[in-house]
A and B are shown apart, each in its own frame.
Chain A
């Protein structure tokens, strides 16, 4: 009370006049800021809704087969969605795994060999997940042991895993097009075909996403990872181990990669030296499209992977339909427009982070 009185005394001195409306102005500014942040947070979801609506309109206007179009769309998006959902844990730490594609290729390579040997889809998925988790663990353990930034170890793993997988495919597979592939023999494809249902794939994705959401939002793991990503020095000083939570992040990412690898085999059904070649970059773009900050931290969200991955594939499909209806050579345009959209998304979502306040 003494302090209050002192303050009151100070406030009534002529040399320090009090501006009464100030708190109201502050409240208004804060309200505006909150609304702006709320709108920007909703932008990725709104954009997804708009993109989906545009896509459906284009399908109807062009008289495309809706069912087959959606099947093709789900098949394109699902693998990115699996890998990106797991990778959110890595991105939350402010880290980046450039070897996600190579890891998917390597896991799928071992998985397809297991399927051809056993004929068991279950065994194939288990092996894909175990191999992918092992690759991820190797990444994080090397980083922890040698005190290297995790990004650096993933660069090395990118080369190693690609080389080993390519070698296995060249040894065990056969020529296809201008590369090599290990293809599931036709007689064994029926087993995989049963799992190639878009509905089943979506159910598996939903289960995986729910597990990730639970770990990320309702356990200490997620909170500590966000803390580490947002302020690593402060987090370390609070006793949070970078190594342990890095390993957990890479394990979760490994599970996503393994599921993605399994789904690749179910879809193709084969693995070639070019399989999953663009996954790493697609995942990165998907997460940014989903509105998540590249720097990770407290604003990381699991749904960013699902929203972003879906939006990215929708955008590509829409561009393909639009450009196709114009005729002429179009392949470069899809990449060009995607790149411009990517920059625009980063700019808009970045508006939310350009603040002096810590996120709350």
Chain B
């Protein structure tokens, strides 16, 4: 675990876990936090979310989902939990549309004929939906399926021979294994594709190599200073992402509940869509990198933190979140 310095604006201590790779590890970590009197758990791991929500609820610890959303089955159970405050993030449609927009851009504007595609951590639903959108955006099909139905065809793994994109040659790989992944990537880079399109993590794993190889690439990630550098000095040509501070709204849910005035949706947990923004130039990316300070700063967050003196309605919470912290 890593403990960060307490933020200046709120009297709170954040502790980050190490990388959790199994449901058991996630449960053990949560048990330890509960034992250590933590008041809330912010989940970015997608490991047995219903189990963690259940554990937190039984121990009166607030729980929020800050990355993606719960499955419908899990959501229908957890939304009634008193201590499950809600989820703020892109849903399956938003993930699909992020991939779709990337694919359409490279097909219609960049007119690519040969692409490398990195499927990241398929079958993670987030990456599956983005990949389905990307294939569709490039004008392709998968095993005969089109559009969002592609996601239903790749619930377990991707058979690259089933990707059919007329007029575009595709090389595909996914996952991350230090022993094999860089070999797969190297083979694709050596073929000099027109673009390397990724549905996640490319800026983490391959940015340096792609910059050096002079291959334009696209990714779905966050608007960080590093990614601005890749776009300004490197070959990152397209970035769909969220603000680095986009975890802010779930924090507002926790603070409101801690104030004794939780924001609820008719007594149930709230679910709010958080869409992706897109940068195609360094200037656009710079505008999103929060160089002037986080978009979700104290002034903005205070607008959606409910207190005894100030009641925040669900509608006003949703409006501000869906507009990325900008008041209409």
Q: List residues of chain A with CB under 8 Å of any chain B CB.
A: 59, 62-65, 68-69, 71-72, 75-76, 170-171, 174-181, 183, 185-186, 189, 264, 267-270, 272, 274-275, 277, 320, 324, 327-331
Contact = CB atoms under 8 A, between A and B. Distances in A.
Contacts of B121: 175, 178
B1 A330 contact: yes
Contacts of B155: 174-175
B2 A329 contact: yes
B290 interface: no
Contacts of A62: 36
B21 A179 contact: yes
B111 interface: no
Contact of B24 (A175, A267, A324, A327): A267
Scoring A72, A75, A170, A183 by chain B CB atoms within 10 A of each residue's CB, the highest score goes to A72
A176 B23 contact: yes
Nearest to B16: A329
B103 interface: no
A64 B37 contact: yes
- 10 nearest A-B pairs in the assembled complex, by CB-CB distance: A72-B31, A175-B123, A68-B35, A69-B35, A274-B22, A270-B23, A175-B124, A274-B21, A272-B22, A177-B47
Contacts of A183: 23, 48
Given A177-B20, A178-B121, A186 B77 contact: yes
A284 to B, nearest CB: 20
Contacts of A179: 21-22
A177 B20 CA distance: 8
A71 B77 contact: no
A268 B27 contact: yes
A176 B1 CA distance: 21
A181 B35 CA distance: 27
Nearest to A79: B24
A174 B123 contact: yes
A274 B24 CA distance: 10
Contacts of B28: 72, 75-76
Interface in B190-238: none
Given A175-B122, A185-B73, A275-B24, 17 more contacts: A65-B34, A68-B35, A69-B35, A71-B31, A71-B35, A75-B28, A170-B157, A178-B21, A179-B22, A183-B48, A186-B50, A189-B51, A270-B48, A270-B51, A272-B22, A274-B21, A331-B1
Contacts of B27: 267-268
A175 B23 contact: no
Contacts of B77: 186
Nearest to A176: B47
A308 B119 CA distance: 43
B46 interface: yes
B21 A177 contact: yes
Contact of A181 (B23, B36, B37, B156): B23
Nearest to B126: A175
A268 B48 contact: yes
Contacts of A264: 24
Contacts of A274: 21-22, 25
Interface in B122-142: 122-125, 128
A186 B73 contact: yes
Nearest to A59: B35
Given A63-B37, A64-B36, A178 B124 contact: yes
A65 B3 contact: no
A65 B37 contact: yes
A186 B74 CA distance: 8
A323 to B, nearest CB: 9
A64 B33 CA distance: 9
B35 A72 contact: yes
Nearest to B36: A64
Contacts of A324: 1, 3, 15
A139 to B, nearest CB: 25
A324 B13 CA distance: 12
A68 B77 CA distance: 24
15 contacts: A63-B37, A69-B35, A170-B156, A175-B121, A175-B124, A177-B26, A178-B121, A178-B124, A179-B22, A183-B48, A268-B27, A270-B48, A272-B22, A275-B22, A275-B24
A75 B31 contact: yes
A125 to B, nearest CB: 18
B316 interface: no
Nearest to B122: A175
Contact of B23 (A268, A328, A329): A268
B149 interface: no
B270 to A, nearest CB: 21
B21 A68 contact: no
Centre residue among A71, A186, A274, A324 by max chain B CB count within 10 A: A186
A25 B301 CA distance: 81
Given A72-B28, A328-B2, A176 B46 contact: yes
Interface string B52-93: 001000010000000000000110010000000000000000
Contacts of B312: none
A176 B50 CA distance: 12
Interface string B79-113: 00000000000000000000000000000000000
Contacts of B54: 186
Contacts of A72: 28, 31-32, 35
